[in-house]
Homo-oligomer: A and B are copies of this chain.
């Protein structure tokens, strides 16, 4: 092929192609070469838009985090309320569930978040909302920072575990469909894990488990207020 026409793609078009690839074939398929191919470009042409793969992934993270609505209450900054803690709880819950919904409905997005620094403008915007909520509840700035960090950890970690678990059960199903392969790794160690085994039969719903965990975390965080 000769150089071809100057298409001059926008970053939007490139990111759209990358997300299409992500949702169709998973995170591993989001390669510089793969995205270039989907756009009808040579791999090297990608380097005129992004200096490296990290920058491309960072662009994707920014786009997906940008879809999280924040501070949705219409009253703007005037948010003073009778109960600062209750206010904080609802604001943090909105961020937590919003973020989870964003990632759960986007297969492969977890890999994206885990592979990328999370220091872009939209990540900072989310941080700011969490900090505002916790300081509004009466926490000092240092505690609010730690509380926001704990929420960050919990949301991302929960989604990552859910995704890993979903992938594993999908594999297990695919394996069960091939009757030739006997159940491998049936270790039957001397050890047994009665509680864990009984627990596994419960088959908890991921969404409910997430909700419960965030509520309990908030119970602990919002109790960390200076006595007043």
Contacts and interface: CB of A to CB of B under 8 A. Distances in A.
A147 interface: yes
Given A164-B117, A213-B153, A131 B196 contact: yes
A198 interface: yes
A45 interface: no
Contacts of A146: 204, 209, 212-213, 216
Contact of A216 (B156, B195, B209, B224): B224
A53 B111 CA distance: 18
A220 interface: yes
Nearest to A121: B189
Interface in A199-220: 199, 202, 204, 209, 212-213, 215-220
Most buried by B among A121, A147, A220: A220
Query: Can you tell how many copies of this chain the complex includes?
Result: 2
Given A114-B114, A141-B199, A199-B131, A119 B168 contact: yes
Contact of A195 (B121, B132, B158, B161): B132
Interface residues of A, number: 55
A160 B156 CA distance: 11
7 pairs of A and B residues whose beta carbons are closest in the complex: A220-B220, A157-B157, A219-B220, A153-B157, A216-B220, A131-B195, A145-B199
Interface of A: 114, 117-119, 121, 124-125, 127-128, 131-132, 135, 141-150, 152-154, 156-158, 160-161, 164, 168, 187, 189, 191, 193-196, 198-199, 202, 204, 209, 212-213, 215-221, 223-224
Given A127-B199, A153-B154, 10 more contacts: A119-B168, A127-B196, A132-B195, A141-B198, A141-B199, A142-B199, A150-B154, A153-B213, A216-B220, A216-B224
